[in-house]
Each structure stands twice: as structure tokens, then as C-alpha cells.
Amino acid sequence: MAEEKTLSEQEIARIQDALKEVYDPEIGISVVDLGLVRKIEEVDGEIQITMILTAPFCPLAGLILEQARQAAQAVTEWPVRVVMGMERWDPSMMAGDARQRFGFGF
């Protein structure tokens, strides 16, 4: 019987760190600092990353999602899939440093 793998906190942290290198090309801030990465989890034997975008009809959506998939895939042996979440992005989702950079005080 095959041993079932489980997604560890260390693996999630490694993926999160890799995603910090993926930038929104129009804004110049990482998808992590923008708060676009909403969930990293194991689903049916693969890593599923749920992301949102700053604009619903972002013309660079495919590029950003593929860069995120490649960045995550580079640091894990798990198969990686990136899916779009339905949540609307809001500037309050940004990391503190990114909010300050853009003058958001909350």
C-alpha cells in the first residue's frame, strides 16, 4: 500500500516564499504582498493555490497565474494547480509594507 503524503507547514511556507517572487507586472508588487494568494492546500493529491486578481478582467491574468504555478512547482515535488477564487480584491488585503508604499493607512 502506497504511503499517503500530507502537505506540511514547511512545504506551504516554501511555496509561499516562492510566490513572493511573482509580481503583478502593472503594479510591481508580489502577488503575496498584494494579498492575491488566498489559499494553499492539498486537493486530490496535488497542491492547489487559490488566487484572486486586483481587477476582474485583468489582461495579464493568464501570465500571472502561470508564473505562480511555475514558481510553486519549482520548489515542490507535488503537482501544482492554480485556480481563480471568486473573492473580490480589496487594498486591505495587502501586506503592511505594500499598503504603506501606496499610502493606504489601514
Instruction: Give the tens place of pLDDT for each residue, 19-43.
Output: 999 999 988 899 999 999 999 999 9
Give the pTM: 0.88
Q: What is the pLDDT of residue 52?
A: 96
Q: What number of other Cβ atoms are within 10 A of residue 66's Cβ?
A: 12
Sequence-separated (6 or more) residues with CB below 8 Å from residue 97: 33
Q: Which range, of 20-29, 50-59, 80-89, 97-106, averages the lowest pLDDT? A: 97-106
Helix (H, G, I), strand (E, B) or coil at 1: coil
Please report, for the chain, the start and end positions of each structural domain, with discontinuous segments joined by +.
9-85
| Options 3.30.300.130, 3.30.70.120, 1.10.390.10, 3.40.50.2000; CATH of 9-85 | 3.30.300.130
Instruction: Give one DSSP letter per residue of 27-80, joined into a string.
Output: T-SBTTTTT-EEEEEEETTEEEEEE--SSTT-TTHHHHHHHHHHHHHTT-SS-E
- Give the rounded distance of the alpha carbon of 23 from its chain centre: 10
